[in-house]
Amino acid sequence: MLCSALWVDRTGHRVGAGGGWYDRALAARRPGVPVWALVDDSELVPLLPHDPWDLAVDAVLTPTRLIPLRG
């Protein structure tokens, strides 16, 4: 599953545009389906604040590389 993001940190937590739309969609996906966030290289950061209900992504896809983040 691909999702948009404004920033993603190295633990897989993402910041979106607000509203929680992707968090609800991620929670409804089939088990085992990986989630990749699409960001620019500069939008992968060391750490972002997140809430307990925020679901992390498995990888980041940038214009130059695919970076696995979890598992």
Query: Mean pLDDT throughout 44-65?
Result: 93
Quote the pTM value: 0.85
d(CA 9, CA 31): 23
Q: How far is CA 10 from the centre of its chain?
A: 10
Write b or e for each residue in 18-39: b if 16 or more Cβ atoms lie within 10 A of its Cβ, otherwise e: eeeebbeebeeeeeeeebbbeb
What pLDDT does 11 receive? 95
Please give the single-letter amino acid code of residue 8.
Answer: V
CATH number for the domain harbouring residue 41: 3.40.50.10420
Residue 71 pLDDT greater than 60, yes or no: no
What pLDDT does 45 receive? 97
Range of the structural domain that residue 31 is part of: 2-68
Structurally, the chain folds into a number of domains equal to: 1
Each residue's pLDDT tens digit, 3-47: 999 999 999 999 988 777 887 888 888 999 999 999 999 999 999
What pLDDT does 22 receive? 80
